[in-house]
Structure 1
């Protein structure tokens, strides 16, 4: 499984109500993505605490069946909708990170 993480910082002056609207909008957009092949689930929301969050107040995780499903989603029009929405409220470029949960870390 591939987990795709996105972290964003809201623009200065964004109200609590606007942040809540952003979380809800992305939740609705990602709910629609669940019908796409290989998309298994998602989570979206704020950090439990600002301590250590370094100003990031928005996070989403999307889970994909495999690398091909993730790659297919990146070029899908639905991904562009979510990306454009998040970039629209983000103070700076978002932080994006992916992990392959099938790989075992070796120390």
Structure 2
């Protein structure tokens, strides 16, 4: 697992701390927003978006990959098919009623 953390602010001025197990209570926009901030700070490299129902994004952070989904229902099997080749599902963390983060090693 990655051992990074990053403190930032969302578009509404609310502070948040991003760690491998932090709860993200807002929308995909904020998750993209902090991912961009991580990239701008040189901490993360954001890869191409993943085509899923509801959308998704992959960020590489300290050599680990984090796949962010916003889905009404999470399909673990389908998500597994979307992992990068050789990727391994390390953890699924429920971040909201409709949001999930998958942390990959």
Please say whether Structure 1 and Structure 2 have the same fold, judged by a TM-score greater than 0.5: no
Q: Max radius of gyration: which structure?
A: 1
**Greater helix share, structure number:** 1
More strand by share: 2
TM band (smaller chain): 0.3 to 0.5
